Amino acid sequence: MPLPGWVAGRSRGDAGRGALADLLVVGLGNPGLEYDGTRHNVGEEVVDLLAERYGACPKRAVGRALSAQVHVDGRLLVLAKSNVFMNLSGETVAPLVRRYCPDDVGRLVVVHDELDLEPGRVKVKVGGGLAGHNGLKSVKAHLHSDAFVRVRLGVGKPPGRQAGADHVLRRPGKAERTELDIAVVEAADAVELILTDGADRAMNRYNS
């Protein structure tokens, strides 16, 4: 079933069935309109923006995800969003990796919300700890590797005694939403830099 905002169709510059991706970008989030605009779904918002930039539409489902293929300066970029809940993300990411970059998990970029960063902050990371993020835990468990690239969008710590799960499943206020909108644009730019110049260059730019 198509995800909200994505209409099934042919992507501009679509590649053949056997083509491998130069970069596979998966935005994490929860399916369903009730989760649109929540902090937990900012990763999907980045993929939506990238799809808009390139006029991409998902062509087919892979592992219960919708994916779209576009060529960017001769490179194949695959954009995907899952159709499962966050803590099951690996169930959709693993088939995508097997299809598009089976020989190099380093060509997978996972875009996700990050409690440990202040709202609106964007950072790029390769491998390492998962900071308790259930979506990343699921991806690592299914890939048996944590060597993939992450683009992290800060949503900040929950206020007071509010649980982290409650915090990320809520929509931010107007001021924070403005910060996150800017961060979504920066994160999309970071993905494009990873595609053209590599993760190290993106880390140097966004982590300083």
Which sign, positive or negative, has the C-alpha torsion 131, 84, 186, 202? Answer: positive
* Residue 40 annotated in active site: yes
Rounded CA separation 91/188 (Å):
24
Among candidate residues 40, 112, 142, 167, the one labeled active-site is 40
Rounded CA separation 76/70 (Å):
6
Supply the residues annotated as catalytic.
40
